[in-house]
Structure 1
Amino acid sequence: MTPSFPISRRTFAGAAACGAAALAFPALHAQGKLEKTKIALAVGGKAAFYYLPLTITEQLGYFKAEGLEVEISDFAGGARALQAVVGGSADVVSGAYEHTINLQSKNQMFQAFVLQGRAPQIAFGVSTKNMPNYKSVADLRGKKIGVSAPGSSTNMMANLVLSRAGLKASDVSFIGVGTSAGALAALRSGQIDAMSNTDPVMTMLEQKGDVKIISDTRTLKGTMDVFGGPMPAACLYAPMDFIQKNPNTCQALANAIVHGLKWLQTAGPGDIIKTVPENYLLGDRGLYLASFNKVRDAIALDGILPEEGAKTALRALASFDPSIKADKIDLSKTYTNEFARRAKDKFKA
């Protein structure tokens, strides 16, 4: 359901700006008939802040404003959401950018076309209950590590941390725990010894003393420390042939997301609470807001994916995954900023 708000000065200014944008960019406004108005979109862990721009865009009716009917299917993690598109039950994924690199290494061409997150927003922590004497990453050998879903970006982050300490993925057991209440329960009940996951889950565990954070990409600074450069995160991506056959539809999707990003630039914590579904708060409004403040600067501003960020992602993946040969990947085919640039112009994001 789309919440109804009284018209505020910001809403009015936003509407005026949109009107001005329509006059200034008549060709954009008349971007052509949508090839497809019904879109099946797959996401892995929609309640996470990682996908907040998607939720905001949906809840405020921005997809509908672009003439789209978007049906969102939520899976346990990004790898599962990707399987839905590969299997043909979804058109587009809202997921981690690095999947496009992974897929290209397997000769499957997917392309990201609008960015939602400019930092991975993933934290890796060890259980204070199961590992009270933790000293270094080497202590994780033989342990159970919770991730949103095996093969997801949370798994990738854990692999990176392990590889830097000389451990291989096969030295631990990865267990899919989702990104919400199930993840909290798995860690607190002692089913797992450590966890790589997103907010609000990780902040909730951290503030209650359930985890000790050992690697953190919830801020731009933390991301630079871990990856050595900007690291693009959530984006909308799809098979390249889908994008080529449905350019107007992809433009409408990018417009809607960038509209949501523009709203998020000035939204206060109270606006967020009013807009997201109640169950996303995981029963603790205060901690949810504390998490939002922590990841706020990780949200993309205008939907454009930085070239340097694509290089960082490739470097990170190639560092621990021997199947990814950096010299064989054509990064220019893993993303396009064509749609996001038009959307940025339209909404002055």
Structure 2
Amino acid sequence: MKKINIGGVPEHFNLAWYLGLKNGEFKDENINLRWKDYFGGTGAMCKGLRDGDIDMAVILTEGIIKDIIAGNKSKIVQVFVKTPLIWGIHVAQNSNYKTIEDIKGTKAAISRYGSGSHLMAYINAQNNGWNLEKDLDFEVIKNLDGAVEGLTEGKADYFMWEKFTTKPLVDNGVFRRIDNCPSPWPCFVVAVREEFLESNKDDVKTILNIVNNTTSEFKDIPSIDRMIANRYEQELEDVQEWLTLTEWSQENISKATINKVQDELLALNIIPEKWKYEDLVEKL
């Protein structure tokens, strides 16, 4: 049985992978798929791919494109979630900040440089007409627990993270959400290390086929809303709202999307140049 390591965030988006593992669907195809939770998000997964700790990752689109251009020898093989990620913009409950304008020029908590929380801070700044050099400042906090500590203790002023993941922290009075910032493209893709992909294409195809069968019928799974609410400690009505807003994909990323992401990252000086579609994407 072939052992293949995959990483992803421990969030509701990735339940389809858990269900496939729980039901033994990968083992039925002689694949020992080992899932690793990355609490540090995209930046940590990029490092995992670079270091060979994982072979595959379910990762933010903008984060992996930036890191491939920066030297990560991986390729995008499919879009996993085709709808945008809704980033909540959070401050500490007792903060004086009430609006987006209030946090202009203050310090953003980010999991690490090159992470989604870092890149989306630039998107949010651009959306609001801020000066990208003067109005952005960062404090690295590693993960969600670090953000709670950072904002509560005043080491940072605001924090951007997926709205529904952080909703329990808003509900219990740790954070206050002052606005939302949707990503301008499909949020999650599947990326694979090039070296691994070269000799394991059929296995990658098999893995994708299994998860795609689950995601294509995901919303029809009986009591899926209750399962998500229980597993990820979320309110049922929040999960139901999230399900109405989220669509999975079984297709590869388009040239138009790759261009759009690169145009945005280039305009923000996050990448030094644009790459060809074929240098970022592998068609299986």
Length-normalised TM-score, structure 1: 0.68
Q: Which residue of 2 aligns with 1:71?
A: 34
In structure 2, distance between residues paired with 1:149 and 1:65: 37
In structure 1, distance between residues paired with 2:22 and 2:178: 32
Gap runs ≥5 in structure 1: 1-35, 218-222, 339-349
In structure 2, distance between residues paired with 1:323 and 1:301: 26
In structure 2, distance between residues paired with 1:95 and 1:66: 24
* Cα shift at 1:264: 1.0
* Cα shift at 1:207: 4.7
Larger helix proportion of the pair: 1
Q: Which residue of 2 aligns with 1:58?
A: 21
Q: 1:114 aligns with which of 78, 96, 113?
A: 78
1:190-209 matched pairs, under 5 angstroms: 192-207=156-171
In structure 1, distance between residues paired with 2:272 and 2:195: 23
Q: The residue matched to 1:200 in structure 2 has which SS?
A: helix
CA offsets per residue over residues 293-338 of structure 1, 9 Å max, x none? Answer: 2254333142442333222221221121254323xx1123322453
Q: 2:5 aligns with which of 11, 23, 40?
A: 40
In structure 2, distance between residues paired with 1:212 and 1:117: 24
In structure 2, distance between residues paired with 1:128 and 1:84: 31
Bigger radius of gyration? 1
* Cα shift at 1:131: 3.8
Q: 1:86 aligns with which of 14, 29, 50?
A: 50
How many residue pairs get aligned? The number is 280
Q: Which residue of 1 aligns with 2:235?
A: 286
Q: The residue matched to 2:217 in structure 1 has which SS?
A: helix
Length-normalised TM-score, structure 2: 0.82
Q: The residue matched to 1:174 in structure 2 has which SS?
A: strand
Distance 1:200 1:66, change over 3 A: farther
Q: The residue matched to 2:186 in structure 1 has which SS?
A: coil
Larger strand proportion of the pair: 2
- Aligned-residue sequence identity (percent) comes to 14
Distance 1:193 1:232, change over 3 A: same
Distance 1:185 1:201, change over 3 A: farther
Q: Which residue of 1 aligns with 2:281?
A: 335
Q: The residue matched to 2:26 in structure 1 has which SS?
A: helix
- Aligned residue identity for 1:127: V
In angstroms, what is the RMSD of aligned CA positions?
3.1
Distance 1:103 1:174, change over 3 A: same
Q: Which residue of 1 aligns with 2:245?
A: 297
CA offsets per residue over residues 155-193 of structure 1, 9 Å max, x none? Answer: 2111221244213388312333524x6645654565542
* Cα shift at 1:204: 2.8
Q: Which residue of 2 aligns with 1:49?
A: 12
* Cα shift at 1:200: 3.0
In structure 2, distance between residues paired with 1:74 and 1:306: 28
CA offsets per residue over residues 41-99 of structure 1, 9 Å max, x none? Answer: 122x32x2343333343334332343311112222221112212211222112211223
In structure 2, distance between residues paired with 1:87 and 1:216: 31
- Residue 318 (1) aligns with residue 271 (2): no
